[in-house]
Structure 1
Amino acid sequence: MSLATPADSPAVDPAELVKDPYAVYARLREQGPVHAVTGTDGLPAWLITRYEDVRHALADPRLSLDKRNAAPGGYRGMALPPALDANLLNMDPPDHTRIRRLVSRAFGPHQVTRLHEPIRRTAGRLLDAMAPRGRADLISAYAAPLPITVICDLLGVQEEARGDFRSWTEALVSPDPEHPGRAGDAVRGLLGFFTRLIADKRTRPADDLMSALVGLRDEEDRLSEDELTSLAFLLLIAGYENTVHLIGNATLALLERPDQLAAVRADPGLLDNAVEELARFDGPAPLAIRRFATEDVPVGGVTVPAGSTVLLSLAAAHRDPRRFTDPDTLDVTRDVTGHLALGHGIHYCLGAPLARAETRIALSALLERFPDLALAVEPSELARRPSMRSRGLLALPVRY
């Protein structure tokens, strides 16, 4: 991302934005609430940086998720086939309302509570495998397999069918500019994966969410075939990707701050609030999903023209001192009510209760099993994935 106007805006180094987005966004936030930028696709966009403006924009119906509201030639996102593109992240009401209502019950607090024990068992099994080694990459050994196991179990994906899922997801979320063909390969792999999964649930329905969704399509005609496939795609991607990096970022933040780690160890009752603060402090999504202005929209004294692509910086909003006192400090006792890590308004994260439960259980089990858990490398040696839209660690070497 680079600044296009105004002329006196500070330059934005993409590498610095990956390494430390908070310092970059702090400069932008203090200079002004809204900036005209050049997005990662090389096209113009408007970046909103202050908490109140971001919160309002997240719920503003004039800012649409439907790509058809982009100005002609004004948006160049990843090209997905209709069978993967017809999902909630590209929809406004009434379609968004209809489809969200169909699946919201599966992710409600009562249903998620039933998953707590299976999540604990999965976490325990992964930690058992780690224990004898004394050292591990916490991402590949724990933070990644835990949520993929949980969401695949929920949807009814057989274990032998999960092997390529992480590599496909990585290729889509964090494309490698040196190997541009991998993203296309991932799209084809995922489309084939979901086509086979749906066919399997049609012939062998079971007591799982995917079978229920197929029933909504085939028996009640409440989903189109593309909507069914896209919904399965979104549930797996969203249920996996953000939770992996929330667990990884949270663990690193605690290991780098012994006082906060000690507070959580001394009072496990702090974990629920700690998860909220950790999501604010270093969440997995620096930017919300892009929006498109359906009319001229005034934001912070600036008029965003109709058809413009709008980027909402959650990372900047969460470090805004106008909303959070001493925002660059991690404080697991902080009243973090109103953070935006899981969204706001009608597009609030459908899987928020599940993401919270997985992160809390993952951290609790990890800290209980390994009381001497520590980084196995210097923090400066840790590498982040090369993405400005998804903040996660490539690896997190630990010893115990």
Structure 2
Amino acid sequence: MAARPIADLLQLSPDFERDPYPVYAALRAEGPVHHVRVPRGVELYLVLGHEACRTAYTDPRFSRDWLKSDQITEIMEIDPAAPALQHMLMMDPPDHTRLRRLVSREFTTRRIEGLAPRIQEITDELLDTMLAREDHRADLIASFAFPLPMAVICELLGVPELDRNAFRAWSNQIVSPVDTSAEKDAYEQMGAYLLKLIEAKRAAPGEDLLSGLIHTVDEGGDRLSPPELIGMCALLLIAGHETTVNLIGNGLRALHDHPEQLAAVREDPELFEGAVEEMLRYDGPVETSTIRLVLEDVELGGVTIPKGSAALIVQGDAGRDPARFDRPETFDVRRDARGHMAFGHGIHHCLGAPLARLEARIAFRSLLERCPDLTLTADEKELPWVKGMLMRGVKELPIAW
């Protein structure tokens, strides 16, 4: 097949950042693979559609191990030996397999399920504070969607309360970088802080997850090295709150835009579990995968992606593919949305997905029960969006009740 011209996403739609789905749908109609220029000016390949995304996620030629290549500076200006990068999201098997096995020994279903009462307590405390405002107005992100998962993941790991604002700033620079030097500083500062925290936990361990990770040893005597502990802690802190922040924000926008669906979940609380899955499918918090390095020429959908290229798997588009979901542009809380890829697919499927789902169910049930007159007070076109194509969400979401 003849090579297609490079598609500039912003030229295809100046509104791409706010609403990328029409662009993805138009490209998908032509084929599942496209050479594009993304908003920050980088050229790479997009993989679109449910089946092609599944294929790419499980194809070992789409690598995450940039650290062992000489191309790491193509995606970030940071020393590949930086401890904050030594985590499983930056690795392929067998390194990924080893780290995930060690972390999974402590990040268990039982531990997550046991958090439900505490998540409810934190939710209630945040809503008490928010609803006490005399003007009956707030920014949902700052007042609720951010502090809830941040408090949960920090308590789970054992990070002191006073350091949470710093983590938010570092995390923002890492997941939606707008300045390479600021991104580099964020990695370095987070790594330095976590090193001190790990040393303190090693000297005086507690019941938290970080203490468990420090001391966990598998049957063969393997354990996480100091750099790996820093990297895994950084990954868990960032992924452990960013996903839920945007899941809550995007989910509330979807409910607000579809009042009949909002009425349905208010009338029948049993719909909350399915509603969260539909939120994840319809407008999930993670728009694309992290950047993959193509290890050799890959032919997919009639297009050859050259060795050494960068590729993004657009899981947000996978959820809008009519070949997989009937009426994909329709938000329907009664839909069976299973099979979406909001948390990725294959070996890199998000380890924290059960925690994000649990937080979202508790958050939405409590928010809608306690705020029967909740409304959004800003035009969606005026909302400030998170930069980049990794995380999808708004930085602010003004509400009234």
TM-score w.r.t. structure 1 length?
0.92
Deviation of 1:245 (Å): 0.7
Unaligned runs of 5+ in 2: none
Identify the residue that residue 33 of structure 1 maps to in structure 2.
32
Alignment of 1:1-400 (within 5 A): 6-7=4-5, 9=7, 12-13=10-11, 15-39=14-38, 42-67=41-66, 75-80=74-79, 81-133=81-133, 134-177=136-179, 181-216=181-216, 220-400=221-401
Q: Is the 8 A contact 2:289 2:314 kept in 1?
A: yes
Unaligned runs of 5+ in 1: none
What do the CA deviations read for 1:69-89 (whole angstroms, capped 9, x no partner)?
A: 767589333425520111111
Tell me the secondary structure at the aligned position of residue 393 of structure 1.
coil
Q: Is the 8 A contact 1:71 1:308 kept in 2?
A: no
Q: Is the 8 A contact 1:43 1:74 kept in 2?
A: no
CA distance in 2 between counterparts of 1:231 and 1:113 reads: 21
Q: Is the 8 A contact 2:82 2:188 kept in 1?
A: no
CA distance in 1 between counterparts of 2:329 and 2:251 reads: 15
Letter in 1 for 2:229: L
CA distance in 2 between counterparts of 1:217 and 1:335 reads: 40
Relative distance call for 1:11 and 1:367 in structure 2 (3 A) is: closer
CA distance in 1 between counterparts of 2:9 and 2:248 reads: 32
Q: Which has the larger displacement, 296-305 or 90-99?
A: 296-305
Letter in 2 for 1:226: P
Tell me the secondary structure at the aligned position of residue 244 of structure 1.
helix
What do the CA deviations read for 1:255-286 (whole angstroms, capped 9, x no partner)?
A: 12110101111111111111111011111111
Q: State the number of aligned residues.
A: 394
Q: Which has the larger displacement, 140-149 or 36-45?
A: 36-45
Deviation of 1:107 (Å): 3.5
CA distance in 2 between counterparts of 1:308 and 1:71 reads: 12
Tell me the secondary structure at the aligned position of residue 45 of structure 2.
strand
Letter in 2 for 1:324: F
Letter in 1 for 2:212: A
CA distance in 1 between counterparts of 2:99 and 2:321 reads: 34
What do the CA deviations read for 1:46-99 (whole angstroms, capped 9, x no partner)?
A: 211111101111112222111157675893334255201111111111111111
TM-score w.r.t. structure 2 length?
0.92
Letter in 1 for 2:274: N
Deviation of 1:166 (Å): 0.9
CA distance in 2 between counterparts of 1:269 and 1:126 reads: 24
What do the CA deviations read for 1:338-366 (whole angstroms, capped 9, x no partner)?
A: 10001111111101110110111111110
Q: Is the 8 A contact 2:278 2:331 kept in 1?
A: yes
CA distance in 2 between counterparts of 1:91 and 1:227 reads: 12
What do the CA deviations read for 1:218-253 (whole angstroms, capped 9, x no partner)?
A: 995512221111011101011011111111111111
Deviation of 1:21 (Å): 0.8
CA distance in 2 between counterparts of 1:10 and 1:40 reads: 8
**Aligned-pair RMSD on alpha carbons?**
2.3
